[in-house]
């Protein structure tokens, strides 16, 4: 267009800003420059500060600015407008504060270090305290945007020095910020600590050395406030997922606190269940026993097992969480061995529940847990346990079978494969893990019905079910071929051939005869 629009043309500015903000597809640097040539940033900022009585103008301008600063050209202009960012971070409008926080992120993400450091600008204009205030006092979207900006700030050495000051009496030290804000603000500060911890192992070390993890430990000690405790447990659940978390969390009192929580019958079951899931997630990591000794591991598994033994049938959710947690512990060889050697055997509850059809969710969780203990998730070279662990596993399954109407493990396996698709999938995983044991392989080969199910390409209709069935079939076939005695047994020749054919056909409904069949017949002529 041939004329420039000033703030005196708010309606036209609204239309143009809306068109730019909500234009489908990518906004290039050239289109951004063209827009700003018509409506310079001072015009947009002035209009945003005054707004007038034009409905929708603030929303359009905020969306427009957000899109401008996400482009490389727009981000290059941010250093010139740092005073605007400072004003925006302290504005009454939540939308303006949100876009100001996002602008800080854009500045840090697109920093051109050939000129002035973006982190240095944030420090020079004292932006970090304003971001903290947005985090603790702002609305949900403002707090999320502020957290992202602080995380980006931590990506620089200058930012780390500000976020983690050497002087613990600094007002911006996160421990002091948490102590001086509302309960909601405190949870947000704790969430920021988790976000920073996740950046890298080196940043996690700074978080740990700053004694900030103790803030989270203190929060879950207060189980009287269920909502607050649950919020912090969710943060610990996120922490447990981080790859480098085990090393640092093992140095805290977290495992002891969680074990105490699990054993406390007076608190809500939802807290106990979440505590179990956190322990399970931590203990499922391959390197966990590098940092947690066997005594500590026994304590937490015994706490879960003890709670599982006390649960009644109506505590289905907590029971399933306990079984899932034991299954996660059993994913590693050390964890599986621990469960099978602890006194009383933690795995006994898992085995009993895996073949108990009185609770669908409970049985499903137990089957997956037993599959983990049997090594389905481990590499083939790490599937087998030590002599005592293997013997305990075998005895548990045979004892469970002898007390049931099925009498044998093969009967139990067949019963599982004859249930619904979810249970069958868990059954495939269990058999795939167990079949490396000669006793289990013999049990499977003794029941033609099991072989028929795992070799039938039409048993499953979902992709995950087809793959699980085929993986199970492959595991049985490989175990059979790896045993010279069984592979040469003429009585098993038919089973071996059937398994080999099923493996060759693949998982996805492959038919025996793939030649084309006529779909249309020619008309008969008289």
DSSP secondary structure of 282-302: HHTSTTHHHHS-HHHHHHHHH
Sign for the pseudo-dihedral over CA of 450, 451, 456, 457: positive
Confidence (pLDDT) at 52: 62
Residues 6+ apart with CB under 8 A from 426: 364, 367, 368, 371, 416
Confidence (pLDDT) at 1: 37
Helix extents (H) in 22-126: 29-38, 41-50, 57-69, 72-77, 82-89, 94-109, 118-124
Confidence (pLDDT) at 311: 63
- How far apart are the C-alpha atoms of 16 and 21, rounded to whole Å? 9
- Answer yes or no: are the C-beta atoms of 450 and 456 closer than 8 Å: no
DSSP class of residue 394? H
* Count of CB atoms situated within 10 Å of the CB of 432: 26
* Count of CB atoms situated within 10 Å of the CB of 21: 19
The parts of the chain modelled with pLDDT lower than 70 are 1-8, 51-52, 112-116, 311-314, 343-344, 509-526
Cα of 332 vs its chain's centroid, Å: 19
- How far apart are the C-alpha atoms of 108 and 195, rounded to whole Å? 17
pTM: 0.84
Q: What confidence tens digit (pLDDT) does each residue in 313-345 have?
A: 457 888 899 899 999 999 999 999 999 987 667
Q: Calculate ∠ Cα 41-42-47, nearest 5°.
A: 100
Cα of 43 vs its chain's centroid, Å: 44
Q: Which domains does the chain have, with CATH numbers?
A: 253-404 (1.25.10.10), 407-428+435-508 (no CATH)
Asked if the peptide bond before residue 390 counts as cis, ω within 30 degrees of 0, the response is no
- Answer yes or no: are the C-beta atoms of 221 and 215 closer than 8 Å: no
The CA distances from residue 353 to 144, 292, 306, 316, in Å, are 42, 28, 15, 12
Confidence (pLDDT) at 8: 59
The helix (run of H) or strand (run of E) holding residue 478 is: helix 463-481
Sign for the pseudo-dihedral over CA of 428, 429, 435, 437: negative
Exposure string of 116-130, with b = 16+ CB inside 10 Å and e = fewer, is: ebbbebbbebebbeb
- How far apart are the C-alpha atoms of 474 and 503, rounded to whole Å? 6
């Amino acid at each position: 267009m041939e004329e420039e629009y000033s703030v005196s043309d708010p309606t036209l500015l609204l239309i143009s800003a809306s068109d730019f903000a909500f234009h489908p597809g990518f906004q290039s640097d050239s289109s951004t420059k063209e827009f700003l040539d018509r409506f310079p940033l001072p015009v947009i900022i002035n209009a945003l500060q005054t707004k007038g009585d034009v409905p929708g103008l603030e929303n359009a301008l905020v969306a427009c600015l957000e899109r401008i600063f996400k482009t490389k050209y727009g981000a290059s202009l941010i250093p010139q407008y740092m005073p605007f960012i400072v004003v925006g971070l302290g504005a009454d409008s939540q939308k303006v504060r949100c876009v100001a926080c996002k602008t800080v992120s854009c500045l840090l993400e697109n920093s051109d270090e050939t000129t002035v450091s973006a982190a240095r600008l944030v420090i020079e204009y004292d932006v970090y305290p304003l971001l903290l205030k947005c985090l603790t006092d702002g609305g949900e979207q403002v707090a999320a945007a502020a957290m992202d900006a602080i995380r980006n700030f931590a990506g620089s050495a200058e930012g780390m020095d500000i976020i983690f000051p050497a002087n613990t009496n600094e007002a911006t030290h996160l421990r002091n910020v948490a102590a001086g804000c509302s309960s909601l603000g405190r949870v947000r500060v704790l969430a920021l600590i988790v976000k920073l911890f996740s950046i890298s192992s080196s940043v996690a070390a700074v978080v740990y050395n700053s004694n900030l993890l103790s803030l989270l430990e203190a929060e879950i000690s207060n189980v009287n406030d269920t909502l607050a405790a649950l919020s912090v447990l969710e943060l610990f659940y996120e922490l447990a997922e981080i790859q480098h978390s085990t090393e640092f969390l093992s140095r805290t009192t977290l495992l002891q606190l969680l074990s105490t929580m699990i054993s406390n019958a007076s608190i809500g079951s939802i807290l106990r269940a979440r505590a179990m899931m956190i322990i399970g997630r931590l203990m499922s990591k391959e390197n966990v026993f590098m940092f947690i000794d066997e005594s500590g591991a026994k304590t937490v598994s015994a706490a879960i097992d003890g709670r599982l033994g006390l649960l009644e049938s109506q505590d289905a959710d907590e029971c399933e969480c306990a079984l899932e947690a034991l299954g996660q512990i059993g994913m590693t060889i050390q964890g599986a061995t621990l469960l099978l050697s602890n006194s009383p055997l933690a795995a006994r509850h898992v085995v009993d529940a895996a073949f108990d059809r009185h609770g669908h969710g409970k049985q499903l969780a137990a089957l997956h847990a037993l599959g983990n203990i049997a090594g389905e998730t481990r590499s083939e070279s790490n599937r087998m346990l030590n002599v005592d662990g293997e013997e305990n596993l075998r005895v548990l399954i045979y004892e469970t079978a002898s007390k049931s109407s099925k009498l044998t493990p093969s009967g139990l396996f067949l019963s599982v494969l004859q249930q619904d698709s979810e249970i069958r999938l868990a059954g495939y995983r269990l058999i795939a893990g167990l079949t490396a044991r000669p006793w289990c392989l013999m049990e499977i080969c003794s029941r033609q019905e099991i072989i028929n199910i795992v070799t039938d390409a039409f048993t499953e209709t979902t992709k995950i079910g087809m793959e699980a069935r085929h993986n199970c079939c492959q595991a049985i076939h490989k175990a059979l071929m790896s045993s010279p005695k069984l592979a040469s047994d003429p009585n098993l020749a038919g089973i071996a051939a059937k398994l080999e054919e099923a493996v060759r056909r693949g998982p996805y409904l492959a038919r025996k005869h793939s030649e084309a069949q006529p779909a249309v017949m020619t008309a008969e002529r008289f």
